[in-house]
Amino acid sequence: MQKISVRIAQQEDLNAIHELVGELAIYEKAENEFVATLEMYRKDFADGVFEAIVAETGGEIVGMALYYLSYSTWKGKMLFLEDFVVRQSYRRRGIGDLLFDEVVSIAKAKGCRLLKWQVLDWNKPALGFYAKKNATIEKNWWNGKIIF
């Protein structure tokens, strides 16, 4: 297996990041809900709305984690991990560990008191992954949203 490197994403990585999110939407059976365009990604990335890291091997981006700063009124500064995905054909090679551990390091370096994300209740591989990371998976909070 070729060496995997993890690095901060750049503008030129957004096409691969967008494709990976599309793969995730398919996996989560929500392909029709994925309506954010590559142009939206480019503008929002340039405006600092979100940041990302990518996992790369042989010049190919095979995974990514997309995150942004948020705030918890109970804990303080927080990093929200919006999406975290590894290409299907590259799973079970430790790439998820590399990406997740780097996001944890980034959160700590930014002075965050909390790292938060969502996981679908039926996604057993993800739930198992987070359990190995000693994460708390809350089951008593419901998500609310308004789509414009």
What is the mean pLDDT of each successive set of 10 residues along the chain, which is 148 residues long?
Answer: 92 98 95 97 98 96 98 97 95 95 98 96 93 94 89
27 belongs to the catalytic site: no
CA atoms of 139 and 135, how far apart (whole Å)? 13
For residue 90, the enclosing domain spans: 5-132
Give the count of domains, the chain: 1
Residue among 55, 62, 67, 80 at smallest CA distance from 23:
62
In a domain, 103, yes or no: yes
In a domain, 138, yes or no: no
Q: 107: how many CB neighbours lie within 10 A of its CB?
A: 21
pLDDT at site 59: 93
In a domain, 92, yes or no: yes
- Residues 103/115, Cβ–Cβ less than 8 Å: yes
**Residue 41 burial (CB < 10 Å; 0-12/13-18/19+)?**
buried
In a domain, 16, yes or no: yes
In a domain, 38, yes or no: yes
pLDDT at site 1: 60
Q: What are φ and ψ of residue 81, in 5° steps? A: -85, 105
In a domain, 110, yes or no: yes
What pTM, to 2 d.p., does this model score? 0.94
**CATH assignment at residue 63:** 3.40.630.30
Q: Which listed residue (27, 68, 90, 130) is catalytic?
A: 130
